[in-house]
Amino acid sequence: GSEIFTPAHEENVRFIYEAWQCVERDLRSQMGSERGLVEEYVEKMPNPSLKAFKPVDLGDLKRRNTQDAKKS
């Protein structure tokens, strides 16, 4: 079935998205500078089972799921 997102859910998603955009902007703007506001965490010993991990575009996934729900 199709998912119903509450206004609170939409607000949370928007908040996290906007906060992450600020983090990415700060990361880009501090490139080359000694110390910045944002510190990127990099795993020293990456988990081998995550080697094949491919990031997922959640917006694209939602669009495809919505289209699939309309077809059935």
pLDDT tens profile 9-28: 999 999 999 999 998 888 88
> What local confidence, expressed as pLDDT, does residue 4 receive?
84
Q: Per the confidence metrics, is the pTM higher than 0.85? A: no
- 3-class secondary structure per residue, the chain: CCCCCCHHHHHHHHHHHHHHHHHHHHHHHCCCCCCCCCCCCCCCCCCHHHCCCCCCCHHHHHHHHHHHHHHC
> What local confidence, expressed as pLDDT, does residue 32 receive?
63
pLDDT tens profile 23-57: 888 888 877 666 667 777 888 998 998 888 888 88
